[in-house]
């Protein structure tokens, strides 16, 4: 009972801070936080297929790019309003995930990772070739959000925040419902799951479609937010790797792990990027190497001691207790 | 035109085969898709470049030294870093080797700058065969011969030496190899080192006909995927076939297709082989 009220207090505090933040800090920081939220959504979405279901979707950015290009094309060529294009982006990502999933989800481990990467690079080439529609390698401009820059910053901040909250709430349901149990059964032992009567092919496709849905929607917001996209940024392997690092740092298959990981990695990465421009990638590489070596199970599963240990145990690890038990 | 393209394709295919052999060796033995493999090619080329620029050492002559340096470097990387995560799930090793790749790319950028580096040999315009129909430049033939020689040496190493047999044994059965007294950590490190040494030699061989830049390592890795998936994992002959196929497809493709379409077909073909024939075109999986 006491723990529950404490959790509620922390949640309320977090809500107050995140909601009041754009009115307190400068536009630069609002954009930084929007970016962190974006990475957190992408990492959480990847967590559904990679963390819960155990399929290393190394080409998951394919849906991000598809979502972004859907918005860009529909808004410029067909004059659709953003809201409609946004919904279409989610739909197209799901359709793509179902089709690609039927083909690729029969692969396992590294083969699946490479297959999805190959699919992503193939889609990127199609985008580059089909320049009448997509602008090719030149990229494509998206109409800007009307209004002042101040309004735009706040708009995208809250949009990303809302999407993040929806994603995290959805993922947290996976700890309790049948769908989540099916995913985790596939991760634990796919053949056994099959024998137990779980239609593994169906659930794997559902898992990837859900992951694709949130990734595609994020891509859609990204396109409208940046108002310019090009194929080499929206289909970038480096982004996927970053997301994997965020999940690894935070904790694979936990609800808040990807969010914590996104926050940590993005903050550290920004810090070094602004200070040591030429060394940025090298430092990021070093961080990746040591994150994987030192905390392969995630920061949420490290046994913390002292006051930080108390905070982690009390607030963050509460929801992850289930995942921790099962991973042993 | 087509005959000439085919000859160039086969000659360069031998270098691709070397890249594919090392990449699929690590994948087959340890289950690691080494995203840093391209970086080893790049380091090899840069070392060879420095030796040429500073001491006038011929790239062909620098190959042994390049291989020794990369062997030592990769042995340490595997022994002290990757061995700690090698039994982990696929995303761990993928992420790890990607981190390694961007770290190496950044270090190369600092040391050798972003300029395109290439070497101009005194005999670079000499022709081995010159007739109305085809020409075979001496350099390209030398590259081909060296690559084939190294491939044969690698094949003999894997079949005839105790270390090579131990690598095969570890690939077949990790627990079994440990039980009969194979020092698996050491064998893993040697496997990784041999793979990197071959990659370094490939880099040195590519230097006389291509130019090198710090982004090269990330670009060429896609080709290593294709070669090893086409050839099937861990087979030397398979990697030769995969390397030749890719190289021929590329050189013949430039005759018929624009380069963007060519890459698209390459990726679609790659995914198709992966889905329908994951054991490779030749049909054998692992050793």
List helix spans (H) across chain A: 2-24, 27-46, 61-77, 82-104, 109-129, 131-134, 149-173, 178-188, 190-195, 200-226, 231-234, 237-250, 257-275, 280-294, 306-311, 321-327
pLDDT at A309: 54
Q: Which of B84, B95, B104 sits opposite A245 (nearest CB)?
A: B95
pLDDT above 70: percentage of residues in chain A: 91
With cut-offs at 50, 70 and 90, classify the pLDDT of residue B19.
Answer: very high
Closest chain B C-alpha to A125 CA, distance in angstroms = 5
d(C-alpha A283, C-alpha A266), whole Å: 13
Domains plus CATH for chain A? 2-19+26-327 (1.10.3470)
pLDDT at A42: 96
CATH 1.10.10 describes domain B2-276: no
Query: 């300029």: which residue's tokens?
Result: B115
pLDDT at A311: 53
On chain B, the residues whose CB falls within 8 A of the CB of A138 are: none
Helix (H, G, I), strand (E, B) or coil at B183: coil
pLDDT at A305: 54
pLDDT tens, position by position, B111-121 = 998 888 888 88
Least confidently predicted of A100-109, A308-317, B98-107, B204-213: A308-317
Q: Which of A125, A278, A292 sits opposite B92 (nearest CB)?
A: A292
Q: Which of B94, B105, B222 sits opposite A281 (nearest CB)?
A: B105
Record the tokens describing residue A182, joined without a space: 């099916």
- Mean pLDDT score of chain A: 86
Chain B interface with A: residues with Cβ < 8 Å = 27, 31, 33, 81, 84-85, 88-92, 94-96, 98-107, 109-110, 222, 225, 229, 260-261, 263-264, 267-268, 270-271, 274-275, 278
- Mean pLDDT score of chain B: 88
Interchain CB distance below 8 Å, A107 and B100: no
Q: Could you tell me which residue, A296 or A30, shows the higher pLDDT?
A: A30
| Residue B179: pLDDT over 50 | yes
Residues B33, A114: contact at Cβ < 8 Å?
yes
What's the ipTM?
0.85
pLDDT at B127: 81
On chain B, the residues whose CB falls within 8 A of the CB of A238 are: 98, 102
Sign, Cα dihedral of B220, B221, B225, B231: positive
Residues B17, B227: contact at Cβ < 8 Å?
yes
With cut-offs at 50, 70 and 90, classify the pLDDT of residue A319.
Answer: very low
CA dist A220 → A41, A243, B85 (Å): 13, 18, 36
Closest chain B C-alpha to A282 CA, distance in angstroms = 4
Longest dimension (CA), chain A: 61
A vs B, Cβ pairs < 8 A, gives 127
pLDDT at B283: 56
pLDDT at A322: 37
Interchain CB distance below 8 Å, B229 and A114: yes
List helix spans (H) across chain B: 2-30, 37-55, 59-80, 90-112, 138-160, 162-172, 174-179, 184-206, 216-231, 236-256, 259-276
Q: Could you tell me which residue, A223 or B281, shows the higher pLDDT?
A: A223
| Residue A238: pLDDT over 60 | yes
pLDDT above 90: percentage of residues in chain B: 48
Interchain CB distance below 8 Å, A289 and B81: yes
| Residue A73: pLDDT over 80 | yes
> What residue spans define the domains of chain B?
2-276
With cut-offs at 50, 70 and 90, classify the pLDDT of residue B190.
Answer: very high
Interchain CB distance below 8 Å, A118 and B270: yes
């Amino acid at each position: 009972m006491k723990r529950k009220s404490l959790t509620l207090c922390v949640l309320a505090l977090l809500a107050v801070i995140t909601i009041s933040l754009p009115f307190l800090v400068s536009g630069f920081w609002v954009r930084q936080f929007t970016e962190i939220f974006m990475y957190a959504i992408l990492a959480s979405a990847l967590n559904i297929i990679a963390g819960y279901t155990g399929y290393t979707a190394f080409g998951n950015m394919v849906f991000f790019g598809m979502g972004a290009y859907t918005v860009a094309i529909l808004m410029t060529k067909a004059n659709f309003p953003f809201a409609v294009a946004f919904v279409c982006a989610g739909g197209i990502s799901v359709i793509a995930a179902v089709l690609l999933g039927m083909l690729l989800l029969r692969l396992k481990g590294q083969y699946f990772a490479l297959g999805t990467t190959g699919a992503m690079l193939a889609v990127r080439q199609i985008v580059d070739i089909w320049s009448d529609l997509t602008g090719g390698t030149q990229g494509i401009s998206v109409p800007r959000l009307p209004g002042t820059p101040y309004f735009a910053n706040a708009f995208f901040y809250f949009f990303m925040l809302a999407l993040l909250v929806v994603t995290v709430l959805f993922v947290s349901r996976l700890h309790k419902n049948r769908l989540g149990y099916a995913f985790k059964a596939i991760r634990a032992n796919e053949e056994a799951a099959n024998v137990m009567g779980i239609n593994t092919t169906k659930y794997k496709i559902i898992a990837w479609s859900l992951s694709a849905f949130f990734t595609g929607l994020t891509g859609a917001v990204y396109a409208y937010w940046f108002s310019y996209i090009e194929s080499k940024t929206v289909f970038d392997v480096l982004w996927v790797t970053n997301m994997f690092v965020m999940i690894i740092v935070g904790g694979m298959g936990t609800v808040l792990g990807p969010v914590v990981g996104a926050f940590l990695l993005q903050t550290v990465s920004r810090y070094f990027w602004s200070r040591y421009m030429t060394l940025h990638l090298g430092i990021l590489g070093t961080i990746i190497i040591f994150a994987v070596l030192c905390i392969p199970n995630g920061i949420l599963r490290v046994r913390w001691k002292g006051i930080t240990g108390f905070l982690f145990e009390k607030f963050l690890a509460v929801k992850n207790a289930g995942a921790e038990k099962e991973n042993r | 035109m087509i005959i000439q393209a085919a000859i160039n394709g086969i000659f360069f295919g031998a270098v691709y085969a070397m890249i594919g052999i090392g990449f699929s060796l690590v994948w087959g033995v340890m289950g690691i898709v080494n995203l840093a493999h391209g970086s080893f090619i790049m380091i090899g080329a840069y070392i060879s470049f420095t030796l040429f620029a500073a001491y006038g050492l011929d790239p062909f002559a620098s190959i042994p030294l390049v291989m020794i340096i990369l062997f030592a470097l990769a042995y340490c990387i595997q022994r002290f870093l990757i061995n700690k995560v090698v039994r982990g799930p696929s995303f761990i090793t993928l992420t790890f080797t990607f981190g390694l790749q961007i770290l190496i790319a950044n270090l190369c950028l600092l040391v050798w700058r972003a300029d395109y580096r290439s070497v101009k040999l005194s005999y670079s315009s000499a022709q081995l065969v010159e007739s109305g129909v085809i020409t075979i430049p001496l350099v390209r033939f030398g590259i081909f011969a060296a690559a084939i020689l190294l491939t044969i040496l690698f094949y003999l190493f894997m079949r005839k030496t105790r270390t090579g047999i131990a690598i095969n044994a570890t690939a077949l059965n990790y627990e079994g190899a440990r039980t009969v007294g194979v020092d698996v950590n050491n064998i893993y490190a040697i496997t990784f080192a041999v793979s990197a040494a071959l990659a370094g030699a490939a880099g040195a061989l590519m230097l006389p006909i291509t130019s090198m830049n710090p982004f090269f390592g990330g670009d060429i890795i896609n080709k290593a995927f294709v070669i090893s998936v086409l050839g099937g994992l861990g087979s030397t002959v398979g990697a030769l076939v995969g390397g030749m196929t890719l190289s021929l497809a590329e050189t013949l493709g430039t005759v018929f297709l624009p380069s963007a379409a060519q890459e698209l077909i390459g990726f679609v073909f790659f995914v198709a082989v992966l889905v329908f024939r994951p054991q490779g075109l030749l049909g054998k999986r692992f050793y």
